[in-house]
């Protein structure tokens, strides 16, 4: 493998090549930049670098100019010649391509001054936007593998575990188990032939969360280094990175990173000449949510059906092929090098009493600044939604945020000042989960959300235990009935009873937590359930069986002059009328897809 | 033909059960489904009962026992996409293509699947056609997306 000698460039253009930006044509931007730089004879001075996800996905495609940290957004190929001429030749940054906060008149040129980035503290995402993930040299230049050298040459396994323990790091995969304690358990576990394994859980099944993907794609060496340190601490000789089926780019990047690490003698036999052996294999998931659960994941690495088994024994005692196995989440691993490098005490100085350090969240749904953020634990929901997230689009009202995926719950707007840490989320009826935050506004129906999650867990239940398999089905049936306006008040009690049984009797975490979305919505949004049951109305107009679309003839005629757009877009020819006259909807043909509502420029289409 | 290809795939891995899923994945990638004769060959060469292979093939969503269309369309129904109207997008695809979710068009050009989160929730609602991601999809954009792959 050729190791590229970095030339010295005057300027680096860091083009985001995360999935979001790529789908917004980031690679075309890159090509256009390179072409224009060449045309202007700047190729010896300016270098274009493609980085992993920058986080501010909403504004892609993105580029950051270094030095200066100048942030450009929503670029198009057309902008490039002007940008190169103005910024790179004449030294005049281009204002119109910078980010301008919705209510302000001037743009914010520097990335670190933009609200979305200002409150973030980057630990797991420390190299975000600063390195090319396919170049180990970039990682090393940012102090990469420094912690490994320290761990291998200056620390005993006990000292490593001690450092992780005092850091207070808890698992980022959902349950929040103390990482140092887990490592100690695996270290203490006895393996007849001294084989122990280490696994990185990159299954990331929680819909709405994409931090693990981003870390694996943007900074694979941070995970590899973390695993190497963990291997030394617990005495493992073989590691596995289990990556979700839907993430082919992550697989590609890890494979490249593993090759480069081996080339540098950081992986394999006699690592750094210290006599320590360790290697890592990549295993691709095959598309089953339950495989994120640790025992199911281990089964599928062994080539068996990805079904959970009862614990104990925990994987720490009996894991892969019956050997003690330490399994941690991607983000957990990515934190390790920093903890070793800067010390557990430093890490513990961030966050709250029981939740230390930072956490990566994906903020998605009905929010202005969708993207990926890393913030100190204990930050309030308000700061995330309003300061970082920029509030709700279209001046709508914030209703709730869903955390913890299908195992979590919905936190209502009243709890906007809730500090985000493991305990307070659990007390609110939800959980940290992997860090997905789906924001909901007044147009989101909470009964529909509950039904959505139940259909998810029902679909993903592996079917091995009855409470989960049959119980979630019964709950889903009731919820569907309610969203169709056929529910009764007894249904609510029935839902709560079923929820208790499922929580109590299910085999694994999937079933045990499946009722949470229903229970939290019943707790905070009972009035919405009642509206569906008593008034047969969906207040947010989401549950389609309960919606009726109508065209206000006066608005249609006077304001829109019967523009006919709705009729042309109607999928089922349900709209009657011709250009110039007021239109009408034939309710017998209407399938309530809402296209007429979306396309009408005059607000003539009403939904009741 | 298939036989040589399958041998090629089998040679990439150790012949033990822990490679079984990886072998099926490579096969799925190669043919975009798992041809029966290939599974029989794998069963023989890896010395695992066909029933075990079939149970894996039906448990995991990545595998399909029926051929897929040339352009697989995956409509995301993850949470972020759901709250931004993904169900309506899926139904629009069903109407435009004249097939139901899980089916393939008669000309074998498209198959339609619903998936849970493609990991680009920032662009919700998201549709993936082959390897290409389409973000912020609306019902009115659907016909143009289909048209793009018809050529
Ligand atoms: C149904 C279910 C799905 C899970 N999915 C994931 C997942 O996608 N990623 C993950 O890291 N942990 C997941 N977990 C948690 C794992 O079982 C395990 O606790 C975790 O990987 C341990 O790592 P940590 O201590 O670093 O968090 C899931 C658990 C359950 C019950
Ligand atoms: S929810 Fe659709 S991409 Fe994540």
Instruction: Tell me what the mean pLDDT of segment A565-572 comes to.
Output: 92
Instruction: Tell me what the mean pLDDT of segment A207-223 comes to.
Output: 95
Report the candidate in A180, A219, A231, A259 with the shortest Cα–Cα distance to residue A3: A259
Residue of B nearest to A540 (CA): B83
What would the pLDDT profile of A437-489 be if each residue is shown by its tens digit? Answer: 999 999 999 999 999 999 999 999 988 899 999 999 999 999 999 999 999 99
pLDDT(A3) > 50: no
A136-348 has which CATH code? 3.40.50.11540
Q: What is the mean pLDDT of chain B?
A: 93
pLDDT grade for A103, boundaries at 50, 70 and 90: confident
Report CB contact under 8 Å: A286, B120.
no
CA dihedral (B81, A439, A113, A51) in degrees, to 10, reads: -30
pLDDT(B123) > 70: yes
Give the class (CATH, top level) of A11-114.
alpha beta
- Classify residue B81 by burial, with Cβ atoms within 10 Å: 0-12, 13-18, 19+: buried
A60, A549, B73, B139, B140 from B92: Cα distances, Å: 27, 18, 12, 6, 9
Q: What CATH architecture applies to the domain A547-607?
A: 2-Layer Sandwich (3.30)
Alpha-carbon distance A503 to A498, whole Å?
9
The structure's pTM equals 0.93
Domain boundaries defined on chain A: 11-114, 136-348, 358-441, 446-535, 547-607
Alpha-carbon distance A600 to A418, whole Å?
39
**Inter-residue contact A438 to A402 (CB < 8 Å):** yes
The pLDDT score that the predictor gives to residue A287 is 85
Which listed ligand is nearest to A297 at the C-alpha? 1
Q: A-B interface: how many C-beta pairs under 8 angstroms?
A: 151
CATH topology of domain A446-535: de novo design (two linked rop proteins) (1.20.1440)
A358-441 has which CATH code? 3.10.20.600
The pLDDT score that the predictor gives to residue A1 is 44
Residue of A nearest to B58 (CA): A305
Residues of A in contact with B97 (CB under 8 A): none
What would the pLDDT profile of B48-96 be if each residue is shown by its tens digit? Answer: 999 999 999 999 988 999 888 999 999 999 999 999 999 999 999 999 9
Half-sphere exposure of B60 (CA within 13 A, CB side): 32
Report the candidate in A120, A371, A102 with the shortest Cα–Cα distance to residue B80: A371
Domain boundaries defined on chain B: 2-59, 71-150
pLDDT(A91) > 50: yes
Sheet holding A46-51, edge to edge: A46-51, A11-16, A63-66, A70-72
Tell me if B133 CB under 6 Å of ligand 2: no
What would the pLDDT profile of A410-438 be if each residue is shown by its tens digit? Answer: 999 999 999 999 999 999 999 999 999 99
The pLDDT score that the predictor gives to residue B32 is 87
Residue of A nearest to B121 (CA): A208
**Inter-residue contact A139 to A145 (CB < 8 Å):** yes
Tell me if B79 CB under 6 Å of ligand 2: yes
pLDDT(A530) > 80: yes
Alpha-carbon distance A409 to A400, whole Å?
10
pLDDT grade for A311, boundaries at 50, 70 and 90: confident
Domains A11-114 and A136-348 share a fold: no
The least confident of A168-172, A251-255, A286-290, A341-345 is A286-290
**Inter-residue contact B44 to B83 (CB < 8 Å):** no
CA of A201 to the centre of ligand 1 (A): 7
The pLDDT score that the predictor gives to residue A7 is 65
Report CB contact under 8 Å: A288, B61.
yes
Instruction: Tell me what the mean pLDDT of segment A222-247 comes to.
Output: 96
Residues of B in contact with A372 (CB under 8 A): 122
pLDDT(A6) > 60: no
The pLDDT score that the predictor gives to residue A5 is 52
B71-150 has which CATH code? 3.40.30.10
């Amino acid at each position: 493998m050729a190791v590229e000698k970095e030339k010295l460039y005057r300027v680096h253009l860091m083009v985001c090549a995360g999935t979001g930006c790529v789908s917004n044509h980031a690679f075309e931007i890159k090509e256009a930049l390179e072409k224009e730089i060449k045309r202007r004879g700047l190729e010896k001075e300016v270098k274009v670098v493609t980085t992993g996800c920058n986080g501010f996905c909403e504004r892609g495609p993105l580029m950051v100019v270094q030095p200066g940290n100048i942030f450009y957004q929503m670029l198009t190929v057309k902008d490039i010649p002007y940008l190169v001429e103005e910024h790179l030749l004449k030294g005049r940054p281009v204002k119109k391509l910078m980010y301008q906060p919705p209510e302000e008149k001037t743009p914010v040129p520097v990335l670190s001054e933009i609200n979305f980035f200002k409150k973030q503290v980057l630990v797991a995402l420390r190299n975000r936007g600063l390195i090319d993930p396919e170049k180990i040299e970039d990682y090393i230049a940012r102090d990469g593998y420094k912690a490994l050298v320290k761990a291998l040459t200056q620390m005993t396994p006990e000292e490593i575990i001690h450092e992780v323990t005092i850091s207070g790091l808890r698992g980022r995969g959902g349950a929040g188990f103390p990482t140092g304690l887990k490592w100690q358990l695996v270290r203490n576990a006895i393996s007849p032939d001294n084989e122990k394994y280490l696994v990185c859980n990159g299954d990331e099944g929680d819909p709405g969360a994409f931090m693990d993907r981003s870390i694996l794609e943007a900074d694979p060496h941070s995970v590899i280094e973390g695993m190497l340190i963990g291997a030394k601490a617990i005495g493992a000789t073989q590691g596995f990175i289990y990556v979700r089926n839907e993430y082919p780019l992550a697989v590609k990047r890890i494979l490249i990173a593993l090759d480069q690490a081996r080339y540098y003698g950081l992986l394999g036999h006699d690592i750094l000449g210290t006599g320590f052996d360790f290697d890592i294999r990549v295993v691709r998931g095959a598309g089953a949510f339950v495989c994120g659960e640790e025992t199911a994941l281990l089964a599928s690495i062994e080539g068996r059906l990805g079904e959970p088994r009862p614990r104990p024994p925990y994987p720490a005692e009996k894991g892969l092929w019956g050997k003690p196995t330490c399994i941690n989440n991607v983000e957990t691993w990515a934190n390790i090098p920093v903890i070793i490098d800067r010390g557990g005490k430093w890490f513990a100085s961030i966050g709250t009493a029981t939740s230390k350090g930072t956490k990566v969240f994906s903020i998605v749904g009905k929010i202005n600044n969708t993207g990926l953020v890393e913030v100190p634990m204990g930050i309030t929901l308000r700061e995330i939604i309003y300061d970082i997230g920029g509030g709700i689009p279209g001046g709508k009202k914030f209703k709730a945020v869903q955390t913890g995926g299908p195992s979590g719950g919905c936190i209502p707007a009243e709890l906007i000042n809730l500090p985000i840490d493991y305990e307070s989320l659990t007390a609110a009826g939800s959980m940290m989960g992997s860090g997905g935050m789906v924001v909901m506004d007044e147009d989101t129906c909470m009964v529909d959300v509950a039904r959505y999650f139940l259909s998810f867990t029902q679909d993903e239940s592996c079917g091995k235990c009855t409470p989960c398999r049959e119980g979630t089905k019964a709950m889903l049936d009731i919820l569907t009935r309610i969203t169709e306006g056929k529910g009764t008040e007894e249904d609510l009690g029935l839902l709560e009873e079923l929820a208790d049984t499922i929580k109590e009797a299910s085999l694994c975490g999937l079933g045990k937590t499946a009722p949470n979305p229903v229970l939290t919505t019943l707790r905070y949004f009972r009035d919405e359930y009642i509206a569906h049951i008593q008034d047969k109305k969906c207040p947010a107009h989401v549950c389609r069986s309960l919606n009726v679309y109508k065209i206000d003839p006066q608005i249609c005629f006077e304001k829109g002059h019967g523009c006919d757009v709705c009729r042309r877009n109607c999928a089922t020819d349900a709209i009657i009328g011709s250009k110039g006259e007021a239109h009408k909807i034939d309710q017998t043909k209407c399938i309530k897809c809402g296209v007429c509502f979306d396309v009408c420029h005059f607000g003539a289409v009403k939904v009741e | 033909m298939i036989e040589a290809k399958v041998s090629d795939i089998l040679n990439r891995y150790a012949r033990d059960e822990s490679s079984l899923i990886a072998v099926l994945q490579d096969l799925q990638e190669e043919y975009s489904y798992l041809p029966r004769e290939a599974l029989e060959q794998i069963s023989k060469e890896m010395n695992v009962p066909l029933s075990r292979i079939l149970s894996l093939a039906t448990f995991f969503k990545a595998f399909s026992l029926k051929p897929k269309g040339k352009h697989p369309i995956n409509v995301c129904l993850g949470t972020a996409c759901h709250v931004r109207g993904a169900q309506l997008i899926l139904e629009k695809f069903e109407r435009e293509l004249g097939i139901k979710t899980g089916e393939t068009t008669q000309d074998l050009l498209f198959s339609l699947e619903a998936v849970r989160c493609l990991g680009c929730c920032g662009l919700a609602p998201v549709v993936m056609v082959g390897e290409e991601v389409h973000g912020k999809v609306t019902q009115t954009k659907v016909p143009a997306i289909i048209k793009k792959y018809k050529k």
